[in-house]
Amino acid sequence: MLLGMVDDPRVVLIKLADRLHNMRTIYALPIPKAEAVAQETLAVWCSLASRLGVWALKAELEDLCFAVLQPQVFMKIRSELTSMWNSTSKDKSMRRSSIRSDLLASTKEVHATSTHDLLSSNDQEQSNMEDLLRAVLPFDLFLDRRRRSDFLNNLQSNSEASIRKPKIVDDAAIALTSLAACEEELQQELLITTSYIPGMEVRLSSRLKSLYSIYCKMKRKRVGIRQVYDARALRVIVGDKNGALHGPAVRSCYSILDIVHRLWTPIDGEFDDYIINPKGSGYQVSIISHQIKHLVASINAEV
């Protein structure tokens, strides 16, 4: 493969796509074989995807491996996030959103879960490997809003038709629905505001942090799941016309930042501002953690 990449780098992309397909259907293998393949994928292919900067695909591969190798921890983290985000769905700003809340079924509020709690969990809920893999959201749902909307509409149709789904799959749908609600709320504010210069390009995107990444962050920082503030994230990118509108773009970033602060309360000590003082690499972004939605919003100025 490495020799083939010398002549055509698309070789490695084909291999990554093939491995992704294998992991999505790995439930067909015996458990020992599936675990061996997942371990190899996590050690080799996820690292390779990271080096190549294919972040969305890497995140899905990691969660597929996580579901195979540590199913109980995988389910526990997903359940905890669902409980947290359901509790915030009753917030006033969430009620203003036009996203239907049918999928946001209420669940009992739980206390913050530590890494030790996850590792020592005796949760007796049983779920087969196929159900767990279905709960890993395809990476392209975060790259294509129409596809994500169709995905959620299909889930809602199945729910209205009383088609029973495993709880872990419902939890994944709730996570995606809550992210879509946050994104739509910010989108509406961006559309009605006049804070940025007419004609300036403003793009909005969102993502869910992979469960494996959340798990690693909890272990690395020795914190509970409620201290992982970037489990959901929104990103607003302001174009500056290749530098022609650099000053107005910077001012626009701060105007949009004010909108974000009105929607979600900032968390003390969780603000990094590289807009006015960009890094030497040219990285120019403001990263803000917010309390109400347990959300991170990144406001970028393209340079």
- For 200-231, write each residue's pLDDT tens digit: 788 888 999 999 999 999 999 999 998 898 89
| pLDDT value, residue 286 | 61
Instruction: Give the residue among 265, 269, 276 at the shortest CA–CA distance from 299.
Output: 276
Judged against a pLDDT cut of 60, whether residue 107 lies above it is answered with no
272 or 45: whose pLDDT is higher? 45
| pLDDT value, residue 97 | 40
Q: pTM value? A: 0.78
Mean pLDDT score of the chain: 78
Distance of alpha carbon 232 from alpha carbon 212, whole angstroms: 14
Judged against a pLDDT cut of 60, whether residue 113 lies above it is answered with no
122 or 145: whose pLDDT is higher? 145
Judged against a pLDDT cut of 90, whether residue 72 lies above it is answered with yes
Share of the chain above pLDDT 90, in %: 31
Multiple choice CATH, 176-302, 3.30.460.10, 3.40.50.2300, 1.20.1110.10, 3.90.25.10: 3.30.460.10
> CB neighbours of 177 closer than 8 A, spacing ≥ 6?
99, 101, 103, 104, 152
Judged against a pLDDT cut of 90, whether residue 57 lies above it is answered with yes
282 or 213: whose pLDDT is higher? 213
Domain ranges of the chain: 1-93+125-136, 176-302
Judged against a pLDDT cut of 50, whether residue 105 lies above it is answered with no
232 or 288: whose pLDDT is higher? 232
Judged against a pLDDT cut of 80, whether residue 6 lies above it is answered with no
Mean pLDDT of the region 122-130: 56
Judged against a pLDDT cut of 90, whether residue 118 lies above it is answered with no
User: Which residues pair with residue 287 across a beta bridge?
Assistant: 272, 298
State which of 82-86, 94-98, 174-178, 262-266 shows the largest mean pLDDT.
Answer: 174-178
CATH class of 1-93+125-136: mainly alpha
Assigned token pair, 131: 């159900």
| pLDDT value, residue 80 | 92
User: Which residues pair with residue 299 across a beta bridge?
Assistant: 236, 286
Assign 302 a pLDDT band (cuts: 50, 70, 90). Answer: very low
Mean pLDDT of the region 65-72: 95
- For 135-158, write each residue's pLDDT tens digit: 999 998 888 888 888 888 887 776
Judged against a pLDDT cut of 50, whether residue 165 lies above it is answered with yes
Tokens 């016309």 belong to residue = 241
Judged against a pLDDT cut of 90, whether residue 102 lies above it is answered with no
Max CA distance (Å), the chain: 59
3-state helix, strand, coil in the chain (%, to 5): 55, 10, 30
Judged against a pLDDT cut of 60, whether residue 56 lies above it is answered with yes
